[in-house]
Amino acid sequence: MPDAATPRPPYHAEGPRVALRPFRYADAAEFTARARESADLHRPWLFPPDTPAAYASYARALIEDPARFGHLVCERDGGGIAGFVNVNNIVRGSFQCGALGYGAFAHAAGRGLMSEALALVVRHAFGPLALHRLEANIQPGNGASLALVRRAGFRREGYSPAMLHVDGAWRDHERWAITAEMPLPPAGDPVR
Ligand SMILES: CC(C)(COP(=O)(O)OP(=O)(O)OC[C@H]1O[C@@H](n2cnc3c(N)ncnc32)[C@H](O)[C@@H]1OP(=O)(O)O)[C@@H](O)C(=O)NCCC(=O)NCCS
């Protein structure tokens, strides 16, 4: 699926099986094809862009808005996109906080790749991004997402009724977070 003719940007974090790189406009075809393949996995929790037009505006925000940092999760074996972890709503000053949005693509789900990626994202957030806190707001029925953040060392801070508008209605969310003082999630041996 990756276009061999398009030079790849360098990875900014690497684990044993996945590496992270920024979003590019040139990723539209691969990303949207994977999103369309993954609708059954993502619904009703997540609605990533699955058309070129939707991808263009989604990627523009992640590329240009300093309040966001998008990580494409790539398999080191072959470089294909396995999923994404975006740090959104970055607030600086005395908060130094970002809110996570993430999804695996179906062909790559359930193999531990997102757990490895989230550990890299937490390290990147508390290192180069200079954040102090990452939040994940998750619907109570989303067992896979709750398991992912629990495994990564996030703690449950609370429960907010009607917190976010998802799939046509205001949905209750559990609020999970990790701060820089907490133990980092387990990471594989760094490659470099
Ligand atoms: C939430 C989501 C990103 C999790 O992705 P995932 O691919 O299932 O994550 P992982 O593969 O890292 O972890 C899943 C399981 O694989 C296991 N696993 C399999 N092989 C593994 C390996 N080699 N190493 C480590 N873990 C492995 C993990 O232990 C975990 O099992 P468990 O939950 O029973 O403990 C994915 O389910 C998804 O995209 N859901 C829809 C979108 C969504 O809900 N987004 C978040 C909205 S809040």
The pLDDT, as a whole number, for residue 5 is 57
Domains of the chain: 13-179 (3.40.630.30)
Q: Is the pLDDT reported for residue 114 higher than 90?
A: yes
Whether ligand 1 lies within 6 angstroms of the CB of 145 is answered as yes
The pLDDT, as a whole number, for residue 80 is 97
Instruction: Pull the structure tokens for residue 192.
Output: 């470099």
Whether ligand 1 lies within 6 angstroms of the CB of 23 is answered as no
Strand positions, DSSP E, the chain: 13-14, 18-21, 69-75, 81-91, 97-104, 133-138, 155-166, 169-179
The pLDDT, as a whole number, for residue 190 is 42
Whether ligand 1 lies within 6 angstroms of the CB of 166 is answered as no
The pLDDT, as a whole number, for residue 189 is 45
Per-residue pLDDT of 74-108, as tens digits, reads 999 999 999 999 999 999 999 999 999 999 999 99
Whether ligand 1 lies within 6 angstroms of the CB of 110 is answered as yes
The pLDDT, as a whole number, for residue 4 is 54
Per-residue pLDDT of 36-52, as tens digits, reads 999 999 999 999 999 99
Q: Count CB atoms within 10 A of the CB of residue 146.
A: 18
The pLDDT, as a whole number, for residue 187 is 78
**2 confidence band (pLDDT: 50, 70, 90):** low
Question: What dihedral do alpha carbons 126, 97, 75, 182 form, nearest 10°?
Answer: 50
Q: What is the residue with the minimal CA distance to atom 16 of ligand 1?
A: 110
Q: What is the mean pLDDT of residues 59-67?
A: 97
How far is residue 175's CA from residue 160's CA, in Å, rounded to a whole number? 7
114 Cα: distance to centroid of ligand 1 (angstroms): 6
Instruction: Pull the structure tokens for residue 41.
Output: 């996995």
